[in-house]
Amino acid sequence: MIDHLSWIAIAPQLLLLVMVCVIAIYDLFLKSPQRHATHYLTLLTLAGAAFLTGSAALSGQTFSGFGGLVVSDPMGNWLKCFAALTMMVLLVYARPYAGARGMLRGGELYTLGLFALLGMYVMISGHNLLIIYLGLELLALSSFALVALRRDDLRATEAAMKYFVLGALASGFLLYGMSLIYGATGTLDIRTLAQTIDAGVAQPQVLMLGLVFLVAGLAFKLGAVPFHMWVPDVYHGAPTAVTLFIGSAPKLAAFAIVMRLLVEAMPTLAFDWQQMLAVLAVLSLLVGNLAAVAQTNLKRMLAFSAIAQVGFLLLAFVAGVGADGSTANMSTAYSAAMFYIVTYVLTTLAVFGVILLLSREGFESEEIDDLAGLNQRSPLYAGVMAAGMFSLAGVPPLVGFYAKLTVLQALLAAGDGVYLWLAVFAVLMSLVGAFYYLRVVKVMYFDVPTQTAAISAPFELRAVLSVNGLMLLVLGLFPGALLALCAQAIASLLV
């Protein structure tokens, strides 16, 4: 007997599934090389998904369906809503780029994108280890194919190969960890898992081994050092539109499964996984920031910057449970992490949006020097890019400052000693980060233009990009609403 709540819980997933089939079939009959109908139908679908998840999130209700296999809670719904919006923005940015590179000869960009989003939705709302794994695989397989979408491009296919091999390895880690945890506890359900571990009936050695594999798998997916090797190559090799995809929406889903698998399923083991995450965070901050300094390719630099940013994000997870087992800081810490990832995705969209805007047929605009003198060519887009860079560097009054502030506040609230040193280390690494972010600003504002071609892009791209850039500033001046949203979403998860 399936109650109607179950159907409501998976309504957005159903919508996506139905629509992706409809679009895939409808696209076969399209002759237009521009694929107008596919494009707008996809945007409509995404808007529908964003509306469904957004209104569910606003209602603030939490309920599970299919006997606890899936859950619909404010955190998940907000993340799904943001993921759908991210995909909409992304498709608008990607369209001229993809069109100029023969990536719109078929409708795969749209169908694979929707399948990937469906995978994210399944991950985000999964409340069972296997469901989460299924969603993850759907996302991963769609991503591999997206990276290889320019099949004649040597670098892209190489990147897809690397991504596939390492991604499969990560999935293997994750699955192995899940099976060990299942062996130790006898359950796949996240709620039961928490109770079983809390009761102390699980085999501790097997459980710990499972946890190690689980964290390693998650670190692969997040791109944290030392599991980061795929990130620079895939960012660099993939078509820029796909790089933007990999760097944006899936991060939201990855955040969600960290919350589900670690915070929800194993709060009692927090002390153990926090230590592992602390090591990952420190290494990511160190390697990401230092390696980014040496890059001349903008996409590679942003890849290392992504690694460093993940390190900062992980610090928030480290701050959740105090050394004495106190849980008072949990909601502060995890809502900081959520705010961090949401604003990071927003910033990434703006930054890659400018890169996509500047690239044109036969020119990728992916070297840092390609941005030279952008301020003279277009002050508006130079401003958007500068806002993105200052935001990533954490300079007020841009939103990235509050992201860093919330994480640091959670870290210091967790206690003295090691937390304080982690915070000091994080700000010192931010200083290194400021150096390479500033370099992009320097190139745009201080150097003489090397490109003279007029910047041409469809109106919808320019409009969305301007709004996106403005959001970085507006949210930096009035971050209160988004902060409150994250706090509520996490609070309803933790009760």
Partner 1 sequence: MGLLSLAIWVPIFFGVALLALGRHLSAQQVRWLALLGSLVGLAVTLPLYTGFEIGAAGFQFVEKVLWIERFNIYYHLGVDGISLWLILLTAFTTVIAVVASWESITERVHQYMAAFLILSGAMIGVFSAQDALLFFLFFEATLIPMYLIIGIWGGPNRIYAAYKFFLYTLLGSLLMLLALIYLFNASGGSFNLQDWYQLPLTSTEQTLLFLAFLAAFAVKVPMWPVHTWLPDVHVEAPTAGSAVLAAIMLKLGAYGFLRFSLPITPDASQDLAWLMIALSLIAVIYVGLVALVQQDMKKLVAYSSVAHMGFVTLGFFLFNELALAGAIVQMIAHGFVSAAMFLCIGVLYDRMHSREIADYGGVINPMPKFAAFALLFTMANAGMPGTAGFVGEWMVILGAVQANFWIGLGAATALILGAAYSLLMFKRVYLGAVANDNVKALLDINAREYGVLAVLALAVLFMGIFPKPFTDVMMPAVTELLLHISVSKLP
In the window 240-269, what residues touch partner 1 (CB under 8 A)?
none
76 touches 125 (CB < 8 A): yes
Which of 302, 210, 222 has the alpha carbon at shortest distance from 255?
A: 222
Min dist. Cβ of residue 470 to partner 1 (A): 12
Under the binding rule (CB under 8 A), the answer on residue 480 touching partner 1 is yes
Is 199 exposed, middle or buried (CB count within 10 Å of its CB: 0-12, 13-18, 19+)? exposed
In the window 436-455, what residues touch partner 1 (CB under 8 A)?
438, 441-442, 445-446
Cβ nearer to partner 1, comparing 253 with 403: 403
**CA 324 to chain CA mean position, Å:** 31
Which of 49, 57, 60 has the alpha carbon at shortest distance from 12?
A: 49
In the DSSP assignment, the letter for residue 89 is H
Scanning 61-69, 155-163, 169-177, 373-381 for contacts with partner 1 by CB under 8 A, the matching segment is 373-381
Under the binding rule (CB under 8 A), the answer on residue 401 touching partner 1 is yes
Which of 313, 380, 384 has the alpha carbon at shortest distance from 348?
A: 384
Under the binding rule (CB under 8 A), the answer on residue 395 touching partner 1 is yes
Min dist. Cβ of residue 494 to partner 1 (A): 16
Min dist. Cβ of residue 441 to partner 1 (A): 8
Under the binding rule (CB under 8 A), the answer on residue 434 touching partner 1 is yes
What is the three-class DSSP state of 72? strand
163 touches 234 (CB < 8 A): yes
Under the binding rule (CB under 8 A), the answer on residue 428 touching partner 1 is yes
In the window 335-364, what residues touch partner 1 (CB under 8 A)?
none
Cβ nearer to partner 1, comparing 129 with 336: 336
Cβ nearer to partner 1, comparing 209 with 405: 405
Torsion of CA 442, 445, 446, 451, to 10 degrees: 100
Min dist. Cβ of residue 232 to partner 1 (A): 24
265 touches 193 (CB < 8 A): yes
Looking at the DSSP bridge assignments, the partners of residue 63 are 72
Provide the strand spans (E) within 45-179: 63-65, 70-72
Cβ nearer to partner 1, comparing 138 with 386: 386
Min dist. Cβ of residue 460 to partner 1 (A): 22
Q: Which of 5, 47, 199, 427 binds partner 1 (CB under 8 A)?
A: 427
Looking at the DSSP bridge assignments, the partners of residue 71 are 64
Q: Which of 206, 208, 413, 494 binds partner 1 (CB under 8 A)?
A: 413
Under the binding rule (CB under 8 A), the answer on residue 484 touching partner 1 is yes
Min dist. Cβ of residue 200 to partner 1 (A): 33
Under the binding rule (CB under 8 A), the answer on residue 396 touching partner 1 is yes
CA distances from 284 to 85, 224, 308, 424, 462 (A): 28, 6, 5, 15, 34
Min dist. Cβ of residue 483 to partner 1 (A): 4
Under the binding rule (CB under 8 A), the answer on residue 430 touching partner 1 is yes
Cβ nearer to partner 1, comparing 35 with 404: 404
Under the binding rule (CB under 8 A), the answer on residue 493 touching partner 1 is no
In 248-329, where does DSSP find H-type helix? 249-258, 270-293, 298-318
Structure tokens at 338: 């959520």
Under the binding rule (CB under 8 A), the answer on residue 408 touching partner 1 is yes
In the DSSP assignment, the letter for residue 70 is E
Q: Which of 310, 390, 400, 489 binds partner 1 (CB under 8 A)?
A: 390
Under the binding rule (CB under 8 A), the answer on residue 435 touching partner 1 is yes
CB contact set of 64 (below 8 Å; sequence gap of 6+): 9, 70, 71, 72, 127
Under the binding rule (CB under 8 A), the answer on residue 162 touching partner 1 is no
Q: Quick count: other Cβ atoms within 10 Å of Cβ 265?
A: 27
In the DSSP assignment, the letter for residue 320 is S
468 touches 384 (CB < 8 A): yes
Cβ nearer to partner 1, comparing 188 with 487: 487
The CA angle 323-325-329, to the nearest 5 degrees, is 85
Min dist. Cβ of residue 397 to partner 1 (A): 5
Q: Which of 21, 25, 424, 463 binds partner 1 (CB under 8 A)?
A: 424
Scanning 116-124, 139-147, 181-189, 403-411 for contacts with partner 1 by CB under 8 A, the matching segment is 403-411
Is 130 exposed, middle or buried (CB count within 10 Å of its CB: 0-12, 13-18, 19+)? middle
Min dist. Cβ of residue 334 to partner 1 (A): 14
Residue ranges in contact with partner 1 by CB under 8 A: 375-376, 379, 390, 395-397, 401, 405-406, 408-409, 412-413, 420, 423-424, 427-428, 430-431, 434-435, 438, 441-442, 445-446, 478-480, 483-484, 487
